[in-house]
């Protein structure tokens, strides 16, 4: 398994353990121009699906790890 693949899978594992608030922050950070308020009506599965279909994998991994490090 390559380092990039491991990083992506680790970031995905982190995202699955995030709270709804953290998931909204992650999706809002990855999707430029998306307001976090517009994500309030989405549930966990919808946010993960949205995250999985859009954005750069490297950016998602970076944001997920950063968010995990700075939030309780």
16-28 pLDDT, tens digit per residue, is 788 888 888 888 8
Query: Which domain covers residue 25, as residue numbers?
Result: 3-70
Task: Report how many domains make up the chain.
Answer: 1
d(CA 69, CA 64): 9
Tens of pLDDT, residue by residue over 46-72, are 888 887 776 677 777 888 878 888 876
Give the span between the Cα atoms of 54 and 9, in whole angstroms.
16
Q: Is the pLDDT of residue 44 over 50?
A: yes
pLDDT digits (tens, 9 = 90+) for 2-18: 544 544 677 677 777 88
What is the pLDDT, as a whole number, of residue 49? 81
pLDDT for the residue 8: 65
């Amino acid at each position: 398994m390559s380092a990039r693949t491991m990083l992506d899978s680790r970031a995905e594992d982190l995202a699955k353990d995030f709270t709804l608030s953290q998931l909204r922050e992650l999706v809002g950070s990855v999707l430029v121009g998306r307001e976090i308020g517009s994500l309030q009506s989405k549930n966990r599965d919808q946010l993960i699906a949205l995250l999985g279909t859009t954005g750069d994998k490297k950016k998602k991994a970076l944001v997920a790890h950063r968010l995990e490090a700075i939030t309780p």
